[in-house]
Amino acid sequence: MSQNKRLASGGRIDRKKVINFSFDGKSYKGFEGDTLASALLANGVDIIARSFKYSRPRGITGHGSEEPNGVIQLGTGASTIPNVRATQQELYAGLVANPVAGWPSVNFDLMATLGKAGAMMPPGFYYKTFMYPQKLWMTYEHFIRKAAGLGKAPTAPDPDTYDKINHHCDVMIVGAGPAGLSAALAAAKTGARVIIADEQNEMGGSLLSTTQTIDGAPASQWLQDTIETLEDYSNVIVLPRSTVMGYYDHNFLVVIERRTDHLGEISPRGARQRMHRVRAKQVILAPGAQERPLIFANNDIPGVMLASSISVYLNRYAVAPGNALVVSTANDSGYQAAIDWHKAGRKVIGIADSRAESNGELVEEAKKLGLKIWFSHAVIEAKGSRRVYAATVAPINAEGTQVTGASQNYDCDIIATSGGWSPVVHLSCHTGARPVWNDDIIGFLPGKTVQKQHCVGSLMGQHQLHDTFEQGLATGAQAACEAGFGDGSNSIKVPSVDLVKTGQAQALFLVPHSKSVSRAPKQFVDMQNDVTAAGIELATREGFESIEHVKRYTALGFGTDQGKLGNINGMAVAAQSLNKTIAETGTTIFRPSYTPTTFGAIAGRDTDSLFDPIRYTAMQSWHEANGALFEDVGQWKRPWYFPKPGETMQQTLDRECLATRNSVGILDASTLGKIDIQGKDAREFLNRVYTNAWSKLAVGKCRYGLMLKEDGMIMDDGVTSCIADDHFILTTTTGGAANVLEWLELWHQTEWPELEVYMTSVTDHWSTMTISGPNSRKVLAKVCDDIDLDKDSFKFMDWRSGTVAGVKSRVFRISFTGELSYEINVQANHGLHVWEAIMEAGKEFDITPYGTETMHVLRAEKGFIIVGQDTDGSVTPQDMDMSWCIGKNKEFSFIGKRSFTRPDTSRTDRKQFVGLKPKDANVILPEGAQAVRNPNESIPMTMVGHVTSSYYSAVLGHSFALAVIKDGHNRKGESVYFPLADGRTIEAEITDYVFYDAKGEKQHV
């Protein structure tokens, strides 16, 4: 069986170039120029998939992105892609494709055999059946997914690269059919920057398969000339194989170019796909129209196809996917398939035309060719299971609502269906415009928009090629003019094309059956989601009247094809069932992406180390060389702890903590946010944004500050130092630096522009190393000889400038550990040198590097808070027992002050900051654990607070925690209980939050 459906001549394929490929484990041959779909049809492969809900065999229906059935899994392993439409995948040597549904194979589906029967699964089935018990939903979901066959995502890293490119253009044209191409010609001539994109491998749209002539020559000649002309323009970018997947606000379009998907599973040259991000001054939408199938009983059997697709397979791919054809149509264009079929030497059994008559040219031509035509008839049912073997044709009334006489079966193996043409309004919807029903064209047209957008061609219901050319050229010139190029008039001659006289089409969607909709064999509306006409009727009977609800209840249009073939028919069935017009029922809206988009294209190069910038301090290499493990803090890599061989994490922390408490430790604190504030009003500005007073802070002094939001909640904290009377350096939390700077700018620029103050982020300019512990002064003395380190001249909360290890430094005597501490700041490029010098000087004191974890333990032993860990945006300074930090006599009502007396912040049962001591000294409470006062209360228990920080303290010899507990300040000494998910209940005593050196003497030594 080798390409037995291939025609001997014709088509845009290269018969000299044979391509081997496989589908569902079997090998086949096709030609260069084939899609996977055309090659499978040429080889007589009928069944491509099993349906989603009913496991019915399905074959190719269409020829482009609308295809609902021919959806396959392309490739294998790391480069596999699920949900590829066989109709859009070009054939390449060695292509491997598999069905996404159907096990063990599409030809023998176990599910169908096991009776995954229709009656079992009405619409709303999932809601009705799998609701209870809720616990089992995960099990159900697993079962449904496996059975439904939604394709498989690759499990290994993608071997290909993807990239992105930004464009600014004057005119962006979507679609390269006759409308788009002629618009491009006219726009390009003005000198405007033009981009034209088309999702097919070849540009031309309907011209690729038309039998009409242009300027007296085959259409392919005009096509070739036009594309060459466009490619010669330096101001035009021509993008074939490029799908405009989304049209966003302010004329921003995203185009996915499949650069190498037609060459092989893994790219042989550069990026596999490229995302073009286009900001266009003007957009011309010319995506064309999509033929709509008629709905009749068993219309999903392989062999039922769109009429236009049959012409495409014949004329473009030289494939006749059958032998004996019956056509069912409600318009003239359905006749084209019969004429092409006849000319290809295949048998036309007859054309069932739902209309009483038509005087159109195609109808006349069919008559001349002697083709059998049944007017006022329609195919009401297809016969067959794995392939059509007959069509049931019956007379119907003029309204298309009833069968009026006896039906007859005609043997055939292919049925062409045409219900008319639906404009591809998808992209026009993406920016929010709702499509508008038009009775004349029997379809939805793009709705009103605020985008600088033009619509042309069959998108506007225009099907005369001559008029399309004329309007395309005019629109191209007009759009260019509105973008600032040319005078808006078109100077290109309109190609000469004969007008084709057509008869009036009929608005027919659901073909009547001799049985009622609920009794007739299944009439499929949305084949990908197995939504039937009966299902939609049932939904409306059950009370779903809004089309949006019908959609969600039945899953109409929810598939990877977004209901490109099914939606309009679905709206029509719903409207009919509700006794409304389609205009009244309306339509659901289409959203990006137009076709499924790979994650690779979305990610582009933004993967691995390029996904998010990683920030390192100047001492990174030392940390790595000394075995540090790292923690991510914002974008920063911070040393977490420095384990020695054989140590557990807890052993490391104990060692680091004790070394700092008993001798000296060193921390890389470079990541703390640092904002340099200057200007004559800097002091006043600080007074307004901090809770405490800054008027009297002298040069050389430091002060801890608390920053609130206007609602009175703690937002950030840090130490600010006075460098000069009009110059301060403010530190923020590591994660809060950018927000704090924006916050300060906000208040300065919008409320107090009269204050002269300038703010600059200097976080990266300084390396900061903190040496802490009783021996820290001795270490500093060894590397610094120009600062008087005497405890009475360089006091706690002072700062001095001087030289450390030969480098100009600012040394701050501040402490986050409660010990004698110095924070040494040097220009960042000297950071590593100074760090190493300090390590050398500290050797005799066994100076111990520690990371964020030990820092957390040491500060928690002292009850020092970390904003964002012990606070969560809902705690006030009073909750944290930090009223000491609030300036009582400040003139200006600083940010957040007024909120202290709000009813919510002044109530007495707020959660308050306390310490916790677990009864079992070795049990560490989980952070986030919820506290209850009575562990025997029935569930749900009354929760009174939660743990914010929790550690084991080596210096104390027991575990401890920080927490916020309701009314905690008055409840010290009481027990609270923590019932955990694992069944344990931990008891802890409420204590003061300072566990170590309660009087705070050590930092003053």
Partner 1 sequence: MLHIFCPHCQEYREEDEFHYRGQAHIVRPKDPEALTDEEWGSYLFFRKNPKGIHHELWYHTTGCRQFFNVTRDTVTYKIHESYKIGEEPAVKSEGDVT
Which positions touch partner 1 (CB under 8 A)? 248-252, 279, 431-432, 450, 710-711, 742, 745-746, 749-751, 753, 893, 897-899, 901-903
What would the two tokens of residue 221 be?
């000649």
Smallest gap from Cβ 715 to partner 1, in A, equals 14
Interatomic CA distance for residues 368 and 362, integer angstroms: 10
Contacts of 912 (CB under 8 A, 6+ apart): 879, 880, 881, 964, 965, 966, 967, 968, 969
Nearer to partner 1, 398 or 450 (CB): 450
Smallest gap from Cβ 895 to partner 1, in A, equals 9
Nearer to partner 1, 742 or 792 (CB): 742
Interatomic CA distance for residues 391 and 383, integer angstroms: 6
Smallest gap from Cβ 744 to partner 1, in A, equals 11
Smallest gap from Cβ 964 to partner 1, in A, equals 22
3-state secondary structure of 109: strand
Nearer to partner 1, 181 or 278 (CB): 278
Residue 400 CA: distances (Å) to CA of 295, 310, 395: 12, 25, 10
Smallest gap from Cβ 425 to partner 1, in A, equals 18
Interatomic CA distance for residues 871 and 877, integer angstroms: 10
What would the two tokens of residue 185 be?
């010609």
Nearer to partner 1, 14 or 710 (CB): 710
What would the two tokens of residue 811 be?
């040394």
3-state secondary structure of 32: strand
Smallest gap from Cβ 793 to partner 1, in A, equals 40
How many CA atoms lie less than 13 Å away from 747 in the CB half-sphere? 23
Interatomic CA distance for residues 914 and 995, integer angstroms: 11
Smallest gap from Cβ 742 to partner 1, in A, equals 6
Helix segments in 201-353, DSSP class H: 219-232, 307-315, 334-343
Smallest gap from Cβ 252 to partner 1, in A, equals 5
Surface-to-core class of residue 342, CB atoms within 10 Å of its CB (0-12 exposed, 13-18 middle, 19+ buried): middle
CB atoms within 10 A of CB 460: 22
Nearer to partner 1, 375 or 752 (CB): 752
Nearer to partner 1, 127 or 892 (CB): 892
Beta bridge partners of 978: 986
Nearer to partner 1, 756 or 974 (CB): 756
Nearer to partner 1, 248 or 704 (CB): 248
3-state secondary structure of 27: strand
Smallest gap from Cβ 606 to partner 1, in A, equals 13
Nearer to partner 1, 699 or 746 (CB): 746
Contact yes or no for 456/162 (Cβ under 8 A): no
Nearer to partner 1, 608 or 742 (CB): 742
What would the two tokens of residue 145 be?
């997914």
Nearer to partner 1, 903 or 928 (CB): 903
Smallest gap from Cβ 689 to partner 1, in A, equals 12
Contacts of 97 (CB under 8 A, 6+ apart): 21, 22, 23, 24, 36, 72, 73, 74, 75, 84, 86, 89
Counting every residue written for the chain, the total comes to 1005
Q: Which of 708, 687, 707 is nearest to 696 (CA)?
A: 687
User: Tokens 């994660």 sit at which residue?
Assistant: 735
DSSP state of 638: E
Rg over CA atoms, the chain: 37
Nearer to partner 1, 251 or 290 (CB): 251
Smallest gap from Cβ 935 to partner 1, in A, equals 37
- Edge to edge, the sheet with strand 377-384 lists 377-384, 388-395, 408-411
Element (H, E) at 173: strand 162-174
Smallest gap from Cβ 670 to partner 1, in A, equals 23
Smallest gap from Cβ 164 to partner 1, in A, equals 12
Smallest gap from Cβ 829 to partner 1, in A, equals 25
Smallest gap from Cβ 250 to partner 1, in A, equals 4
Contact yes or no for 84/17 (Cβ under 8 A): no
Interatomic CA distance for residues 467 and 332, integer angstroms: 18
3-state secondary structure of 355: coil
Beta bridge partners of 988: 918, 976
Interatomic CA distance for residues 914 and 970, integer angstroms: 10
Q: Which amino acid is at 840?
A: E
Nearer to partner 1, 89 or 431 (CB): 431
Nearer to partner 1, 252 or 616 (CB): 252
Contact yes or no for 794/777 (Cβ under 8 A): no
Residue 339 CA: distances (Å) to CA of 388, 662, 713: 21, 97, 77
Nearer to partner 1, 113 or 893 (CB): 893
- Edge to edge, the sheet with strand 714-724 lists 702-708, 714-724, 727-732, 673-678, 758-761
Q: Which of 164, 155, 151, 160 is nearest to 265 (CA)?
A: 160
Surface-to-core class of residue 393, CB atoms within 10 Å of its CB (0-12 exposed, 13-18 middle, 19+ buried): buried
Nearer to partner 1, 125 or 252 (CB): 252
Smallest gap from Cβ 741 to partner 1, in A, equals 8
Smallest gap from Cβ 450 to partner 1, in A, equals 4
Contact yes or no for 882/984 (Cβ under 8 A): no
Smallest gap from Cβ 635 to partner 1, in A, equals 14
Nearer to partner 1, 165 or 629 (CB): 165
Contact yes or no for 799/720 (Cβ under 8 A): no
